[in-house]
Amino acid sequence: MIKVENISKQFNGFLALDDISFEIKEHEVVGLLGPNGAGKTTTLRILTGFFNPTLGQVKYDDLDIIDDDIKIKQKIGYLPENNPLYDELKVKEYLVYAAQMHDLAKPKIKEAVNKVIETCGLKEKQNQEISKLSKGYKQRVGLAQALIHNPEILILDEPTEGLDPNQRIEIRDLIKKIGQEKTVILSSHVLSEVEATCNRVLIINQGKIVASGTPAELKSQTTSQTKILLKVEGPQDKIVEELKKLEGVERIISAQKENNLITLEIETDSTKELRKSIVHLIIDNGWELYEISKQEKSLEDIFVKLTKQT
Amino acid sequence: MKHIFAIIKKELKDYFNSPLAYVFISIFLVVSNWLFFRSFFIQAQASMRPYFSLLPWLFLFLIPAVTMRLWAEEKKLNTAEVLFTWSIKDPEAILGKFFASLIFIALTLILSLSVPLSISFIGGLDWGIVIASYLGALLLAAAFLAIGLFISSLTDNQIIAFILAVALAFAIFMVGEDFVLYALPNYLVNLAQYLGLGAHFASINRGVLDSRDIIYYLSIIFIFLYLNTRQIASRKWK
């Protein structure tokens, strides 16, 4: 549906995007992940036609972003970075204005406005001035604006930035709900965010795509070890010694004793499931097991690894 | 067209939602009336010529105040990014803002009709000249607005937009004035005289609506609105 071919973007001699290509299919929820300044916002601005690429092409089906920008803009709902809003307008006024700008027919405007007010939970706030709203509600207004013309594609630039944890969850749920029937592209530098909402991730660093795939794929690509966390009561030296003998245990990262409880971090071969044999070992020796957990390498580790290489 | 109307409506709402509109209209009416009537009774002539000679000077400082926020604010708050990713063409936004400010100035001029009305009670007023002068004032205002709007698109700072607009409007206004013409080499005199905003206004103020003056104003407006579209479009290629 969206095809990005070899786009580069140069700002006064600074190469913000360096030959990026990717494709997005219908109903995908794609996360653009990268540190600040990696080129996420620039990519999204090119996708929305706000910037033109210095080189390369962006196609929406058969439409070209430079030649058919109006037609493409009608298909896109966009929430820019930092959610700029016409603060002095009331929520409803603003949404009506947005609807008029998208060529909605007059009788349909009211219907569309009421629908997005409903979807985004803005009913009680619809007659308030936007400047008086809390950040979470402003974010909803921004989303409502992006949804007003029922676009096929939703482009969201850091949609949960600057929100408190509760608001983050609300917005995330809202995006998930919307994502069921639309193609969504969102950017973020918060990994848990992307992991929770997206079914595909593009990791971007210094203007290049350094990895892409589902969150699970990305994890398996870069991990060969798994960490196991263990809390056990018993003689410390003996436990460490016995654990080291187990096949698949590569290293005991740390062992700490607090009161009678020993906390151990064990690095193991990720191709083997070791939890069972560890539990057996502990029970057979008559020690007390308090806790055992496998720690997946998080997307965070992958992110740090990929974006620090250069 | 629908987009332009929607933008006009929104911008006008912005004017009247803020104190700026009322401050502007009050200052304009008080200052112009005071300056005019101060000498009106001494001259003892039922003519509005002194009034219209004052107008360009008032416009010079007040019109940049009307246009300064139009783009600068959108750039500063980044709402321009929302605006230009809606399904509109750039020129629609520019025309919307231009006509909104023009309607605002027209409203102010309508309120100033109290001056000719009160004069006409005292003595016979030549309404033909007054109407021509008002039309000239509107054209002059439109030219200043186009200049101010263009300047506003260059910066995200309203104060800088105001100062630069005053400076540029002043320069274009003064080019055709006599004392500038004396200082210029001969071959430039005709050109400077034609380019000066002020000289064209003076002839309209005499009650002569010459098509050359009208074309001149329309070209100034067109040139600056065009520059404005270029400036707005340049964001894409930066």
Q: What is the pLDDT of residues A38-88, one digit of tens each?
A: 899 999 999 999 999 999 999 999 899 989 989 999 999 999 999 999 999
* 3 state SS of A35: coil
**A80 → closest Cβ in B13, B78, B88:** B78
pLDDT at residue B198, rounded to an integer: 80
How many Å apart are CA A33 and CA A39, to the nearest integer? 10
Do A12 and B17 count as a contact with CB atoms less than 8 A apart?
no
Q: Which are the contacts of B88, defined by CB distance < 8 A and separation ≥ 6?
A: A70, A101, B3
Contact present, B160 and B68 (Cβ < 8 Å)? no
User: Is A32 buried (19+), middle (13-18) or exposed (0-12) by CB count in 10 A?
Assistant: buried
Q: Which are the contacts of B196, defined by CB distance < 8 A and separation ≥ 6?
A: B172, B173, B174, B175, B176, B177, B180
pLDDT at residue A309, rounded to an integer: 57
Q: Which are the contacts of A236, defined by CB distance < 8 A and separation ≥ 6?
A: A255, A257, A262
User: How confident is residue B205, by pLDDT bands cut at 50, 70 and 90?
Assistant: confident
Chain B: give the shortest CA distance to residue A141, in Å. Answer: 13
Q: ipTM of this predicted complex?
A: 0.89
Arithmetic mean of pLDDT over chain B: 90
How many Å apart are CA A291 and CA A233, to the nearest integer? 10
Overall average pLDDT of the A25-33 stretch: 91
Do A88 and B18 count as a contact with CB atoms less than 8 A apart?
yes
Tokens in use for A244? Answer: 């080291």
Q: Exposed e or buried b for every residue in A280-297, given b needs 16+ CB within 10 A?
A: ebbeeeebeeeebeeeeb
Range from A185-199, B133-147, B209-223 carrying the lowest mean pLDDT: A185-199
Tokens in use for B181? Answer: 């013409």
* 3 state SS of A259: coil
User: How confident is residue B27, by pLDDT bands cut at 50, 70 and 90?
Assistant: very high
Long-range (24+ apart) CB contacts under 8 A made by A212-216 are: A212/A22, A215/A299
Overall average pLDDT of the A101-105 stretch: 89
Beta bridge partners of A10: A15
User: How confident is residue A297, by pLDDT bands cut at 50, 70 and 90?
Assistant: low
**A101 → closest Cβ in B78, B86, B235:** B86
How many Å apart are CA A33 and CA A194, to the nearest integer? 8
Range from A149-163, A257-271, B24-38 carrying the lowest mean pLDDT: A257-271
pLDDT reading at A96 higher than 90: yes
Contact present, A15 and A8 (Cβ < 8 Å)? yes
pLDDT at residue B43, rounded to an integer: 77
Overall average pLDDT of the B226-231 stretch: 96
Three-point CA angle B167, B172, B176, nearest 5°: 135
- What chain A holds in terms of domains, given with CATH numbers, is 2-221 (3.40.50.300), 224-297 (3.30.70.3190)
How many Å apart are CA B169 and CA B140, to the nearest integer? 11
Residues from chain A that touch B235, judged by Cβ atoms under 8 A, are 50-51
- For residue B202, which of B146, B140, B141, B144 has the smallest C-alpha distance? B140
Overall average pLDDT of the A22-37 stretch: 90
Identify the helix (H) or strand (E) that includes residue A21: strand A14-24
Tokens in use for A198? Answer: 């997206």
User: How confident is residue B46, by pLDDT bands cut at 50, 70 and 90?
Assistant: confident
What residues does each domain of chain B span? 2-237
How many Å apart are CA A275 and CA A278, to the nearest integer? 5
pLDDT at residue A74, rounded to an integer: 92
Q: DSSP letter at A82?
A: T
Residues from chain B that touch A82, judged by Cβ atoms under 8 A, are 78
**B238 → closest Cβ in A11, A78, A84:** A11
Give the residue, A144 or B182, on which the prediction is more confident.
A144
For residue range A195-239, list pLDDT tens digits in order. Answer: 888 889 998 988 999 888 888 787 776 666 678 888 998 888 888
pLDDT at residue A164, rounded to an integer: 86
How many Å apart are CA B181 and CA A119, to the nearest integer? 66
How many Å apart are CA B108 and CA B58, to the nearest integer? 12
Which of B1, B82, B90, B156 to substitute to test the interface with A, most A CBs within 10 Å? B82
Asked if the C-beta of A80 comes within 8 angstroms of chain B's C-beta atoms, the answer is: yes
What percentage of residues in chain A have a pLDDT greater than 90? 42
User: How confident is residue B20, by pLDDT bands cut at 50, 70 and 90?
Assistant: confident
How many Å apart are CA B178 and CA B200, to the nearest integer? 13
Going from the C-alpha of A123 to that of each of A91, A114, A140, B161, the distances in angstroms are: 10, 8, 11, 39
Q: DSSP letter at A103?
A: T
pLDDT reading at A193 higher than 90: no
Residues from chain B that touch A101, judged by Cβ atoms under 8 A, are 3, 6, 83, 86-88
Overall average pLDDT of the B184-199 stretch: 83
Q: Which are the contacts of A305, defined by CB distance < 8 A and separation ≥ 6?
A: A222
pLDDT at residue A224, rounded to an integer: 61
Beta bridge partners of A208: A205
pLDDT at residue B192, rounded to an integer: 84
Contact present, A21 and A5 (Cβ < 8 Å)? yes
Overall average pLDDT of the A135-145 stretch: 92
User: How confident is residue A145, by pLDDT bands cut at 50, 70 and 90?
Assistant: very high
User: How confident is residue A143, by pLDDT bands cut at 50, 70 and 90?
Assistant: very high
Overall average pLDDT of the A19-48 stretch: 91
> Highest-confidence range of A192-206, B29-43, B156-170, by mean pLDDT?
B156-170
User: How confident is residue B31, by pLDDT bands cut at 50, 70 and 90?
Assistant: very high
**B6 → closest Cβ in A45, A87, A101:** A101
User: How confident is residue B125, by pLDDT bands cut at 50, 70 and 90?
Assistant: confident
What percentage of residues in chain B have a pLDDT greater than 70? 100
pLDDT at residue B186, rounded to an integer: 83
For residue range A232-281, list pLDDT tens digits in order. Answer: 988 888 888 888 888 888 888 888 888 888 898 888 877 777 888 888 88
Three-point CA angle B55, B149, B75, nearest 5°: 145
